[in-house]
Amino acid sequence: MAGAVKPGTAAGATFAARFDRQLLAYFQDHRRRWLAGQVKLSAHVQDWKVLPDGTRAPLWYARPLGEKVTIDKAAFFAAVGYRPSEPACLAHASLAKVRVFSGGARAGKSRWGGMELCPILLTPGTRTWIVAPEYEQGRREFEYVLEHTVEHPELGPKLKPFLKRCANRPSQGDMEIRFQWEDAGTSFLLVKTAQQPQSLLSEELDCVLVAEASEIPEDRWSRYLRMRLTTRQGIALFPTSPKGMGWVAELYRKGMDGEPGYFSVNVDSRMNPTLTAEEVEFWSKDMSDEDFEEQVRGRPAPKAGRVYAGFDRGIHVESWRAEWPKPTWRRGRAIDFGFSDPFACLWVAEDEDRRLYVYREFYKRKVLIDDFVRHLALVEGWEHEIDKDTLKVKLSGVCGRRERIDGPTIVDWDASDRAELARRGIRTRKADKDVLAGVKTLSELLRVREDGRPRLFVHPSCKNLIREFDVYEWDGRADQPKDKDNHALDALRYFAHTTQPHLRDLKLRVLQL
């Protein structure tokens, strides 16, 4: 799959990196294996079910839908002539309830989504929706279903006796396939538009496919769609382009993190075996870096996606070493105050070369200063006491196992919270909060240097910081990041921009592979 190759990292990759020989060899080998018939969905079966006659069959969907669908997906795909790529096979075989297929142009997103619906539609008693920003945008997935069922030259005639209704009129808001399976009941596929949220109510569903989800308001999913799946314990599919990604980025992250019930895959267009790498190179060699990242590599580009496009888990997180932070390194803290929003604190070490290492985080809503001080005392090994006059928690400064914090505690500007920390024995320093300049500083730390290493590493336990790196986005309406998913990132930005002034005047650069 595409993820088997070390992921790139950001827009701004050099031309040589775009067409790196090792990377191209991987794409070419995948295409060779696909042409030879060696890329098979049947090789990716994850679980089995027992049929009424006692035999076993592959399970292709999360239960209970997987038990209901009687069609063998791999056999069906072979019968109608659909041969998915390796990443598509992984997405087809996943048993997650929520699946996100993100990729570049021609990566096969819509075909994957449409083909995933076919066995469900051909199962009596199932109810499926395609929901798109407008009817026309749901047409691609819908027509892939038509092509491989009703209009298929061999399968179509066999289905005709059961076809109750078939309409494909997006201009009239009428797109439906409905079967009547005699006494077994009906099944249907219906295209809906997100522009009419009230039409998304009432129905119980086995499956919903959300096309171009990044262009749909989040509440269409959170308030209207996902609860349609609860009664029948259904599934949700998200074939999407990476541009912006918006609220879908959180679902994508959960899949990438391996959270139960979620699956995500990111597909480079060159993983489409019907294309050649040479053809992609010809048409994309004059693309801007941003367009190449989005249209070929299938990754959000700056100003239309992630703010810290240079952040790569493989480089900045997974390379963490057990001996970090070393005892001789200077250690400090970074704090972004919050109550309704999360209170975020990061512990940051700095080595002899001024590289930064985020090794611990505190991230919680509805937190009072006393709550935070108790946590700080626990993790750093301080003794603490209750002040007799104020009844507030205070660090005593006496403890044999106290962690050495010899660097600054950089904080937001809230005067009252700073004063409360000072009363408890925690001295703080006001942050330089310039947003765009701080983004440049932090992006510079993410950039891989000549020695093959960046200047920032994050411990894998700092899950909220890592999540925010993945989902923090530019506001398309202004040259500023969105003010959300940024609380741990703000704390880190404060620390980096305040303590590393030698980076302030550098222009924003991105990772050079």
Question: What's the order of all strands across the beta sheet hosting 456-458?
Answer: 429-430, 409-411, 330-336, 343-350, 356-364, 456-458
The pLDDT value given to residue 472: 94
Number of domains making up the chain: 2
> Is the same domain home to 240 and 341?
no
| Least trusted range by pLDDT, from 81-85, 105-109, 277-281, 493-497 | 277-281
> Is the same domain home to 337 and 394?
yes
The pLDDT value given to residue 76: 97
The pLDDT value given to residue 430: 94
Whole-number average pLDDT of the chain: 86
Among 295, 329, 356, identify where a domain stops: 295
Comparing C-alpha atoms, which of 200, 235, 230 is closest to residue 120? 235
Does position 504 have pLDDT exceeding 60, yes or no? no
> Is the same domain home to 227 and 320?
no
The pLDDT value given to residue 505: 40
> Is the same domain home to 267 and 324?
no
Domain range for 328 is: 306-513
| Rounded CA separation 513/511 (Å) | 6
| Per-residue confidence band for 2, with pLDDT thresholds at 50, 70 and 90 | very low
Q: What is the mean pLDDT of residues 335-347?
A: 96
Instruction: Specify if 300 maps to a domain.
Output: no
The pLDDT value given to residue 290: 67
| Per-residue confidence band for 212, with pLDDT thresholds at 50, 70 and 90 | confident
The pLDDT value given to residue 6: 33
Q: What is the mean pLDDT of residues 60-67?
A: 96
Among 272, 295, 318, identify where a domain stops: 295
The pLDDT value given to residue 366: 94
The pLDDT value given to residue 510: 26
| Rounded CA separation 20/22 (Å) | 6
Instruction: Specify if 415 maps to a domain.
Output: yes
Helices (H) and strands (E) in the chain, counts: 18, 20
The pLDDT value given to residue 244: 57
Comparing C-alpha atoms, which of 243, 235, 188, 177 is closest to residue 214? 243
Compute the half-sphere exposure of residue 2: CA atoms within 13 Å on the CB side of its CA.
26
pLDDT in tens, 67-100: 999 999 999 999 999 999 999 999 999 999 999 9
pLDDT in tens, 439-478: 989 988 998 887 889 999 999 999 999 999 999 998 866 5
Instruction: Specify if 333 maps to a domain.
Output: yes
Reduced DSSP (H G I as helix, E B as strand, rest coil) percent helix, strand, coil of the chain, to 5: 40, 20, 40
The pLDDT value given to residue 424: 83
The pLDDT value given to residue 103: 87
Instruction: Specify if 168 maps to a domain.
Output: yes
- The domain that contains 459 carries what CATH number? 3.30.420.280
CB 205 within 8 A of CB 127: yes
Q: What is the mean pLDDT of residues 119-137?
A: 94
| Rounded CA separation 95/116 (Å) | 12
Q: What is the mean pLDDT of residues 131-143?
A: 92
| Per-residue confidence band for 17, with pLDDT thresholds at 50, 70 and 90 | low
| DSSP 8-class letter at 225 | I
> Is the same domain home to 267 and 346?
no
Exposed/middle/buried for 463, CB within 10 Å: 0-12, 13-18, 19+? middle
> Is the same domain home to 369 and 268?
no
Reading the block at residue 67, the tokens are 């038990």
> Is the same domain home to 289 and 318?
no
| Per-residue confidence band for 490, with pLDDT thresholds at 50, 70 and 90 | very high
What are φ and ψ of residue 217, in 5° steps?
A: -55, 140
Among 295, 315, 342, identify where a domain stops: 295
> Is the same domain home to 275 and 310?
no
> Is the same domain home to 12 and 127?
yes
> Is the same domain home to 182 and 239?
yes
| DSSP 8-class letter at 224 | I
Reading the block at residue 120, the tokens are 């469900």
> Is the same domain home to 278 and 199?
yes
Instruction: Specify if 105 maps to a domain.
Output: yes
pLDDT in tens, 379-422: 988 876 666 555 566 666 544 457 889 999 999 988 999 999 99
The pLDDT value given to residue 470: 92
Helices (H), 109-247: 109-121, 139-148, 155-159, 218-219
Instruction: Specify if 38 maps to a domain.
Output: yes
pLDDT in tens, 151-177: 999 999 999 999 999 999 998 989 999
CB 305 within 8 A of CB 240: no
- Pairing between strand 343-350 and 330-336? antiparallel
| DSSP 8-class letter at 326 | P
| Rounded CA separation 116/198 (Å) | 26
| Rounded CA separation 509/513 (Å) | 12
CB 244 within 8 A of CB 300: yes
Length of the chain: 513
Reading the block at residue 174, the tokens are 């009428």
Instruction: Specify if 152 maps to a domain.
Output: yes
Q: Which residues pair with 457 in a beta bridge?
A: 357
Query: Given the structure tokens 């769609």, which residue do they identify?
Result: 225
Q: What is the mean pLDDT of residues 18-41?
A: 88
| Rounded CA separation 366/272 (Å) | 48
| Rounded CA separation 462/73 (Å) | 39
CB 170 within 8 A of CB 197: no
| Per-residue confidence band for 253, with pLDDT thresholds at 50, 70 and 90 | confident
The pLDDT value given to residue 288: 67
Instruction: Specify if 301 maps to a domain.
Output: no
| Per-residue confidence band for 503, with pLDDT thresholds at 50, 70 and 90 | low
- The domain that contains 285 carries what CATH number? 3.40.50.300
Q: Is 58 helix (H, G, I), strand (E, B) or coil?
A: strand
> Is the same domain home to 205 and 259?
yes
